[in-house]
């Protein structure tokens, strides 16, 4: 992929003024206003209104599921040759590339991500995702196990049916792509419910998918909040699979919805409280500190895999912590549309209040505030917070145990490797972890001992689409990314033929 040129700050500001997002639902290949209920999409950048968005409820979800059911039961999509489905997904990737600036601007404006991250990271990820699964679509094989000579056994993979995909606002296109691309490659049809904080980029993605050749009803996008539209999708008897990324609390609701309806399969990618362990023999302590700072402040800390617990050996704790603090103080918090901004706006006032409450309670519990801890840039109308670091954090405190989902780092210390592993696993979550060591045996042994779906050694947030992503414990089940993601959207059928 040819690197895209980053427009200037003035250009982004001008384009923001010209942007006119379409906030209507997308159902059965057409814009749909629904029953007339609406809500305002406000930008955390400055509080300005971006669009009036159609607010969906049970009726809109029913219409979208009915369209997806017709498209699956009667339409061409599940019956296309996999190679043809792959070619259409590749065209989706091409159109996303062609509209990269518009999509990045929409993401940045609706959820506060820096334009540099939206343009260079978020869009790169979703484009690569559709292209990768497009290339994989015709590479799957069925099985014919060896049986007795008088029989023939076939194990075939068939699309599971109608998929409900519910995705959050922190990576609105990347996480949608992780659900949509494998589900579509498998031959399923989809109803996507984006977060009410980030509906506009998902709607634009859906319209580009139609333009790429996706038949009507194969991908439907319904706006609305979780307790209404999300619940209706979770309870719907014609939804065969529900794929959700979001909080652990909401994930529990979807399991209940499945039990109360048709026992649909529910795949959950949930919260995290990821430990980042720094041992004294780390190959480069300065790089470990720099990576720790980048990891927790990237995307304003609004990331399920954020290394929010820095576990440092006592012998190097002050050196590493001070290096992180220095980087936090130097971080450029600013207008998300300025390409030099390193940390943008938090998604909403409500979310900012929640993050600040965690910091306040942590200090009350005895943690030491090393830097940050307050709102900033209040004169802009934006929702900004200082990069925040606290040490002397008690292992049983809220700071150490609860997901904050903001730019807040909790530093804990340990004296030996066993204590580090105990601290790392002392959480209900099991999404990701980091480890810094020069010892190969330690790297293998600790990685095996950590209860996490992904362990990064001497790095953080690295990887590509060839490896699966997902959690253990209350961080969820199933996997996004890689060929394994297709397993969520396919059924295995055995055909036994007596010869």
Q: With bands split at pLDDT 50, 70 and 90, how would you rate the model's confidence at 5?
A: confident
Q: What is the pLDDT of residue 77?
A: 98
Tens digits of residue pLDDT in 171-191: 999 999 999 999 999 999 999
**CA–CA distance, 45 with 114 (Å, rounded to integer):** 10
SS3 6: coil
Per the DSSP assignment, residues forming a β-bridge with 473 are: 429
Look at residue 80 and tell me whether its pLDDT is greater than 60.
Answer: yes
Q: Mean pLDDT over residues 155-177, rounded?
A: 98
For residue 371, pLDDT beyond 90: yes
- Direct distance between the N- and C-terminal alpha carbons of the chain, in angstroms, rounded to an integer: 51
Catalytic site includes residue 304: yes
Nearest to 221 by CA among 191, 249, 198, 242: 191
Average pLDDT over residues 279-302: 98
- Catalytic residue selected from 304, 342, 386, 403: 304
Burial string for 237-266 (b: 16+ CB within 10 Å, else e) reads ebbbbbbbbbbbebbebbeebbeeeeebbb
75: number of CA atoms within 13 Å, CB side?
22
Active-site residue, 122 included:
no
Cα 158 to chain centroid, rounded:
26
H helices of 112-160, in order, are: 115-117, 123-136
pLDDT digits (tens, 9 = 90+) for 418-446: 999 999 999 999 999 999 999 999 999 99
Interval 389-407: pLDDT, tens: 999 999 999 999 999 999 9
Average pLDDT, the chain: 97
Catalytic residue among 269, 302, 403, 487: 269
What number of CA atoms fall less than 13 Å from residue 335's CA on the CB side? 13
Closest CA to 43 of 168, 175, 174, 199: 199
pLDDT digits (tens, 9 = 90+) for 331-361: 999 999 999 999 999 999 999 999 999 999 9
């Amino acid at each position: 992929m040819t690197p895209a040129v980053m427009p200037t700050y003035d250009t982004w500001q001008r384009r923001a003024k010209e942007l006119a997002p379409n906030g209507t639902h997308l159902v059965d290949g057409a814009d749909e206003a629904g029953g007339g209920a609406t809500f305002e999409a406000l930008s955390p950048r400055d509080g300005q209104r971006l669009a009036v968005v159609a607010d969906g409820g049970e009726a809109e979800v029913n219409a979208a599921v009915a369209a997806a059911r017709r498209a699956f039961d009667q339409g061409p999509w599940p019956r296309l040759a996999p190679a043809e489905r792959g070619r259409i997904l590749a065209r989706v990737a091409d159109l996303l590339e062609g509209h990269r600036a518009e999509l990045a601007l929409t993401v940045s404006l609706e959820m506060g991500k820096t334009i540099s991250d939206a343009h260079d990271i978020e869009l790169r990820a979703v484009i690569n995702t559709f292209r990768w699964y497009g290339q994989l679509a015709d590479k799957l094989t069925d099985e014919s196990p060896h049986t007795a000579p008088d029989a023939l056994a076939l194990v075939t993979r068939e699309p599971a049916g109608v998929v409900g995909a519910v995705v959050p606002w922190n990576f609105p296109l990347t996480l949608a792509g992780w659900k949509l691309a494998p589900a579509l490659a498998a031959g399923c049809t989809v109803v996507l419910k984006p977060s009410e904080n980030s509906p506009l980029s998902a709607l634009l993605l859906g319209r580009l998918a139609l333009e790429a050749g996706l038949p009507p009803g194969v991908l439907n996008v319904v706006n609305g909040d979780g307790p209404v539209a999300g619940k209706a999708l979770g309870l719907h008897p014609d939804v065969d699979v529900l794929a959700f990324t979001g909080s652990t609390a909401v994930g529990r609701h979807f399991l209940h919805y499945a039990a109360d309806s048709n026992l649909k399969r529910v795949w959950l990618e949930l919260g995290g409280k990821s430990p980042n362990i720094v041992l004294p023999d780390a190959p480069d302590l300065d790089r470990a500190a720099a990576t720790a700072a980048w990891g927790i402040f990237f995307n304003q800390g609004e990331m399920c895999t954020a290394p929010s617990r820095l576990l440092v050996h006592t012998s190097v704790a002050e050196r590493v912590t001070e290096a992180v603090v220095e980087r936090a103080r130097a971080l450029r918090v600013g207008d998300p549309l300025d390409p030099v901004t390193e940390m943008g706006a938090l998604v909403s006032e409500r979310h900012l209040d929640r993050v600040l409450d965690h910091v306040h309670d942590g200090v009350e519990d005895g943690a030491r505030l090393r830097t940050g801890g307050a709102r900033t840039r209040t004169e802009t109308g934006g929702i900004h917070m200082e990069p925040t670091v606290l040490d002397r954090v008690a292992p049983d405190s809220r700071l150490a145990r609860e997901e904050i989902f903001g730019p807040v780092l909790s530093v804990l210390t340990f004296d030996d490797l066993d204590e580090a592993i105990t601290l790392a696993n002392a959480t209900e979550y099991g999404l990701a972890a980091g480890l810094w060591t020069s010892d190969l045996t330690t790297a293998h042994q600790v990685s095996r001992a950590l209860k996490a779906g992904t362990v990064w050694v001497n790095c953080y947030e690295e990887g590509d689409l060839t490896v699966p992503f997902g959690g253990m414990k209350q961080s969820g089940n199933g996997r996004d990314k890689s060929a394994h993601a297709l397993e969520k959207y396919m059924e295995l059928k055995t055909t036994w033929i007596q010869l």
